[in-house]
Structure 1
Amino acid sequence: MATADITVRGAGIFGLSIAWVLAQRGARVQVVDPNGLGAGASGGIVGALAPHVPENWNPKKQFQLESLLMAETFWAEVEAASGQSPGYARTGRCQPIVDDTVLTLARQRGETAKTLWGDAATWTVRPTANPNWAAHSPTGMEIFDTLSARMHPRQACAALAAALETHGVQIKGDAPETDITVHATGVAGLEELTASNTRMVGAGIKGQAALLDFAAPDAPQLFADTLHIIPHADGTTAIGSTTERDYDSPTATDTQLDDILARARAAIPALQDAKVLARWAGLRPRSRSRAPMLGPWPDRPGHYIANGGFKIGFGMAPKIAQTMADLILDGHDTIPQGFEVAASL
């Protein structure tokens, strides 16, 4: 096997996606992670690929839109190469409309979506379409958007790893340095950056989620009472998640997850008797700016950073992988304003 020219440190969704696109474009790549595949936030169970609301548009929302629209092709190529399903499907999302004020706002956003999303997706206000798979709506109305998609995070990471193997790329615990290194190291990377700067660059925000024995593989995801309810292709349904800045253990679940489960079952009657198959907790990397951090590592020639996925890492990954490959291989910088590493340092 040829010696790698580019090292990607981190076998989470950012690192794997960047390595995949680099390898597709002919680069010799190695992926290094002492903790193994999807050991951090990318080993979660929720997988909601949900857009920002279509208003107050900015570069972050535009970037996310483009990434969500790239996702179908991106994951189809991964599945074709790997022979493994990432659990991706653009099944849409339903949200209950709780009162007339929200109804008016939802209709306004539907009009805005026509301009911002064009023909790529729709945001529709409609009567609740399927009472058997819906949150209670006091108005009897719901929002349905066709941009939202779902995937299974663990399956997606496994599919990417298998796709990389078809290019001779394996995940290693350690490896010699190369002239070019991409640091996609999540919470640990943010802590390293913070330690070398005069202010906090980012931090890990804990989240807890649960996986239920409830099959609705073709149903849209639901968003109710601030919770994401995601039916997966494998016959399970994920519920998530908390947002915790203070915690004793980053990977332990507790009564906060019990509260989420109670709220989900109260909001979605179909889940009342669904058995809990798994409980998950982990730290998600959030940058100080709340946007992903992309680009060269200042004062470290040949080193690049891709971090800060937080809750939208899987949705952002296809576009981030393309953007980082453009920069590293072609010197073509298309990083949006506010995403630059310097914006968080």
Structure 2
Amino acid sequence: MASVDVTVCGAGIFGLSTAWALAKRGARVRVIETRAIGAGASGGLVGALAPHAPEAWNEMKALQFRSLTMAAAWWDEVHHAGGADPLYLRAGRLQPLADSAALELARARETAARDLWQGAAEWRVIPATGAPWEPASPSGWLISDTLTARISPRQALASLAQALRARGGTIGQEGTDGPGLVVHATGYEGLAELSAHFGRKLGAGVKGQAVLLRHDAREAPQIYAPGLHIVAHGDGTVAVGSTSESTWETPGPDAQAETLITRAREVLPVLHGAEVLERWAGIRPRAKSRSPVIGAWPGRPGHFIANGGFKTGFGMAPVCAELLADLIVEGRDMIPAAFLPATLLQGALPPRRFAAHPRDI
């Protein structure tokens, strides 16, 4: 197909990932960001690329699995194209099990993972050993999975920006939608714009908070306890997050950030005394479907949407970007129905369950 001109509005993870995927296909790409790269929710701290539990398989879990398994090669290509390291590592994850009921459920998921993950990763129940980088487990057992990865959000955005520029793409603060095609990747403000355009609430912003500690555990697995991610990054820091707040008094960090610090030190005592480097807060875009929203803007020819990353934006970005670039540049529409803007508009139906294996999606 002949080269096309595409304007991407928004330099968060969905915007820059889509711009990169488009540029790889020969599109002439410019990114417009009115504030700064990663000025919204993508400029956070956590960077947990973690799967949902391997059960009740649906389109969301299947596409997420595909994205997580392609992530290492995808980010390696970005790194080498622009020279900036996104600090990606598939380090795995540990989760404590609270009691015998949780242990029984975890063993059932262990069996499901062997079928659904098809050897690409493992979900195992293992005994706790009391090692320093291990969460306290009331049952004496942990879940260990090898699919979870981490990435530095800010380094990832810088890596994408450099790769895009190396391919001839531009990033600036000024410009208009035209000429050519337009991708709207404008976070929770974009969901508000969609809602206003169609006269119905299609999503909203959800505040999230995180903190950054100085502690060098850069090769260690992630720790997950209910509502708490502890992620060791490749620069000698540890990120802790995150909250989910539908209402808030201030968009900046508040007392809940201090609660994150306290909880992290309870779950992982080795963090006691670690210096707090940063407290962060941002507004994340959550679509009514709670899934990413990618595809053509209904009734607006030449316009496309990349939004709704919420808690899975960095994990889902590689596959979402490639699918959207396939549609825009090559005319191949392989986007599952659950993620299309038209589906969100029709009622934001939850992803349907189905029996297909990941390779069929």
Q: Larger deviation: 234-243 or 261-270?
A: 261-270
1:228 is aligned with what amino acid? Answer: H
How well do the aligned residues superpose, as a CA RMSD in angstroms? 1.2
Per-residue CA deviations over 1:196-216 (Å, capped at 9, x if unaligned) read 223211111000000001110
Structure-2 residue corresponding to 1:226: 227
Instruction: Give the Å deviation of 1:188.
Output: 1.1
Identical positions, percent = 53
Structure-2 residue corresponding to 1:115: 115
CA contact (8 A) 2:214 2:236 kept: yes
* Aligned counterparts of 2:226 and 2:180: Cα–Cα separation in 1: 48
Instruction: Give the Å deviation of 1:337.
Output: 2.2
Instruction: Give the Å deviation of 1:129.
Output: 4.7
Per-residue CA deviations over 1:161-195 (Å, capped at 9, x if unaligned) read 01111012121112241221011111111111111
* Aligned counterparts of 1:156 and 1:130: Cα–Cα separation in 2: 33
Per-residue CA deviations over 1:207-240 (Å, capped at 9, x if unaligned) read 0000001110000000014200000000000000
Structure-2 residue corresponding to 1:241: 242
Q: Larger deviation: 334-343 or 141-150?
A: 334-343
CA contact (8 A) 2:4 2:329 kept: no
1:55-74 counterparts in 2 under 5 A? 55-74=55-74
Structure-2 residue corresponding to 1:187: 188
* Aligned counterparts of 1:162 and 1:330: Cα–Cα separation in 2: 24
Q: Is the counterpart of residue 273 in structure 1 residue 273 in structure 2?
A: yes
Per-residue CA deviations over 1:141-177 (Å, capped at 9, x if unaligned) read 1000000000000000001001111012121112241
Per-residue CA deviations over 1:322-345 (Å, capped at 9, x if unaligned) read 100111111111111211102222
Q: Is the counterpart of residue 342 in structure 1 residue 342 in structure 2?
A: yes
Per-residue CA deviations over 1:35-59 (Å, capped at 9, x if unaligned) read 1211101100100000000000000
Per-residue CA deviations over 1:114-133 (Å, capped at 9, x if unaligned) read 01000100001111256211
* Aligned counterparts of 2:10 and 2:28: Cα–Cα separation in 1: 16
CA contact (8 A) 2:4 2:180 kept: no
Q: Secondary structure at the match of 1:118?
A: coil
Q: Secondary structure at the match of 1:244?
A: coil
* Aligned counterparts of 1:69 and 1:9: Cα–Cα separation in 2: 28
2:134 is aligned with what amino acid? Answer: A
Count, aligned residues: 342
* Aligned counterparts of 1:169 and 1:190: Cα–Cα separation in 2: 26
CA contact (8 A) 1:225 1:267 kept: no
* Aligned counterparts of 1:238 and 1:33: Cα–Cα separation in 2: 26
1:123 is aligned with what amino acid? Answer: W
Structure-2 residue corresponding to 1:76: 76
The normalised TM-score by structure 1 is 0.97
1:294-305 counterparts in 2 under 5 A? 294-305=294-305
Structure-2 residue corresponding to 1:216: 217
2:230 is aligned with what amino acid? Answer: I
1:207 is aligned with what amino acid? Answer: G
Change beyond 3 A, Cα 1:178–1:232 = same
CA contact (8 A) 1:17 1:160 kept: yes
1:194 is aligned with what amino acid? Answer: S
The normalised TM-score by structure 2 is 0.93
2:277 is aligned with what amino acid? Answer: L
* Aligned counterparts of 1:4 and 1:57: Cα–Cα separation in 2: 37
* Aligned counterparts of 1:326 and 1:103: Cα–Cα separation in 2: 42
CA contact (8 A) 1:183 1:189 kept: yes
* Aligned counterparts of 2:314 and 2:179: Cα–Cα separation in 1: 27
CA contact (8 A) 2:47 2:314 kept: yes
* Aligned counterparts of 1:343 and 1:281: Cα–Cα separation in 2: 30
Instruction: Give the Å deviation of 1:4.
Output: 7.1
1:23-34 counterparts in 2 under 5 A? 23-34=23-34
* Aligned counterparts of 1:43 and 1:217: Cα–Cα separation in 2: 20
2:65 is aligned with what amino acid? Answer: L
CA contact (8 A) 1:206 1:282 kept: yes
* Aligned counterparts of 2:32 and 2:137: Cα–Cα separation in 1: 48
Q: Secondary structure at the match of 2:315?
A: helix
* Aligned counterparts of 1:91 and 1:188: Cα–Cα separation in 2: 33
* Aligned counterparts of 2:18 and 2:171: Cα–Cα separation in 1: 13
Structure-2 residue corresponding to 1:199: 200
CA contact (8 A) 2:220 2:232 kept: yes
* Aligned counterparts of 1:99 and 1:45: Cα–Cα separation in 2: 31
1:327 is aligned with what amino acid? Answer: L
CA contact (8 A) 1:4 1:178 kept: no
Q: Is the counterpart of residue 97 in structure 1 residue 97 in structure 2?
A: yes
Structure-1 residue corresponding to 2:358: none
Structure-1 residue corresponding to 2:352: none
* Aligned counterparts of 1:201 and 1:285: Cα–Cα separation in 2: 11
* Aligned counterparts of 1:115 and 1:178: Cα–Cα separation in 2: 48
Structure-1 residue corresponding to 2:151: 151
CA contact (8 A) 2:88 2:149 kept: yes
